[in-house]
Amino acid sequence: MDCDKCGADAVTHLAYSGLHLCGDCFSQSVEKRVRRRVREDGLLDQSATPDDPDTWVVGLSGGKDSVVLTKVLHDTFESDPRVELVGLTIHEGIEGYRDESVDACVELAADLDLRHELVTYEEEFGVRMDDVAADDPEGMAPCAYCGVFRRDLLERYADDLGADKLLTGHNLDDEAQTALMNFLEGDPKQVAKHFDASLGGFDDEGRETQDTFVPRAKPLRDVPEKEVALYAHLNDLPAHITECPHASEAYRGEIQQLLLKLEENHPGTRHSIMAGYEQLAEAAADSLRGGADDLDECDRCGAPTDNDVCRKCYLVEAVGGDPE
Ligand code: SF4
Ligand code: ZN
Ligand code: ZN
């Protein structure tokens, strides 16, 4: 098959758009989608100047998504002094898994001459995920602890690094899966929370986040997972692909299979889910806004919470660590 843009040999067929693309045209199409998302989300603060640039902290795990996001943003803004990119890597303490992906992050940061910060659960909380998974004092899946700890560190360090935006590498499949899972839970707060994709919204407990956290963005959310992987491969990026040994989101796995099947039979399903869902999330966020109770501060860390101790501090203490 020939590339529909330039006639060279095609390397891929995008069923949802009908296009066959060669490697170069495919890479350009990925880059274009990321740039359009950055533009449409109004990510670059118009008051940013070379002397006072917008600082974007990218959650860099070393997996293909965050590596591709970092590379595309770097190439896009390399010659624009109004944006300063910083890579932030969280080491959870997972033997044989995170060490290798941290190597990928270090390699990428060196290649791109990017500022890179590494934060570990062990230094921050005095725990490693391998021990948490083995002890499991709350009887939960490892990811249920890990997600809370990671989000806390990303937000806290983004803030410490003076971030204006916190960017993560969620792709179209991740987003469509989360949308469907939130919808199936039947809780409007869960739906509203998704609105944070467009810079402003709700945290995991359905509270407004605008004033309390660094705004989030997901510029890769229009690019399907397979295309992110192909981009990383074609552009020879140092992405780490093994799966975490504690990966345990069984429900997400079911949703993933369901969506892949739907996409195969009805190309474009993921895109249409997200098109409708973002509007739904915004409407849900609007209707919940103002209804949130006043928040107290966590006794341990001062984070906003409606309990005496926030979820993160509660879990860190439960696994025998030190939240402060
Ligand atoms: Fe943590 Fe789960 Fe991700 Fe492993 S798969 S790094 S346990 S959130
Ligand atoms: Zn082409
Ligand atoms: Zn706390």
**CATH number reported for the structural domain that contains residue 111 in this entry:** 3.40.50.620
Give residue 186's Cα distance to chain centre: 23
Closest ligand 1 atom to 245 CA: 4
Pocket test for ligand 1, best of 136, 146, 152 (most atoms within 8 A of CB): 146
Please indicate, yes or no, if residue 7 is contained in any of the structural domains.
Answer: no
Q: What token pair was written down for 287?
A: 């209707």
Please indicate, yes or no, if residue 110 is contained in any of the structural domains.
Answer: yes
- Going by C-beta distance under 8 Å and a sequence separation of 6 or more, which residues neighbour residue 97? 242, 244, 245
**Bridging pattern class, strands 216-217 and 296-297:** unpaired
Q: How far, in Å, CA of 48 to CA of 232, rounded?
A: 30
- What would you report as the CA-atom Rg of the chain, rounded to the nearest whole angstrom? 20
Q: What are phi and psi of 217, to 5 degrees?
A: -150, 155
Closest ligand 1 atom to 147 CA: 8
pLDDT of residue 207: 44
Query: Is the distance from the beta carbon of residue 276 to the nearest atom of ligand 1 less than 6 Å?
Result: no
CB 18 within 8 A of CB 48: no
Q: How far, in Å, CA of 239 to CA of 221, rounded?
A: 18
**Bridging pattern class, strands 296-297 and 304-305:** antiparallel
Please indicate, yes or no, if residue 192 is contained in any of the structural domains.
Answer: yes
Give residue 268's Cα distance to chain centre: 22
Question: Which residues make up the environment of ion ligand 2, defined by Cβ < 5 Å?
Answer: 3, 5-6, 8, 22, 25
Please indicate, yes or no, if residue 43 is contained in any of the structural domains.
Answer: no
pLDDT of residue 283: 85
Ligand nearest to the CA of 1: 2
pLDDT of residue 324: 72
3-state secondary structure of 139: coil
Closest ligand 1 atom to 98 CA: 6
Please indicate, yes or no, if residue 33 is contained in any of the structural domains.
Answer: no
CB 116 within 8 A of CB 86: yes
Domain count, the chain: 1
Please indicate, yes or no, if residue 324 is contained in any of the structural domains.
Answer: no
pLDDT of residue 291: 53
Domain that holds residue 266: 49-318
pLDDT of residue 250: 79
Nearest CA to ligand 1 atom 6: 244
Q: How far, in Å, CA of 204 to CA of 189, rounded?
A: 9
Mean pLDDT for each consecutive 10-residue tract of the chain (324 residues)?
97 96 98 96 92 96 96 96 97 90 94 97 96 94 92 93 95 94 84 58 45 82 97 94 84 93 97 89 78 75 85 94 84
Please indicate, yes or no, if residue 26 is contained in any of the structural domains.
Answer: no
pLDDT of residue 198: 39
Q: How far, in Å, CA of 163 to CA of 85, rounded?
A: 9
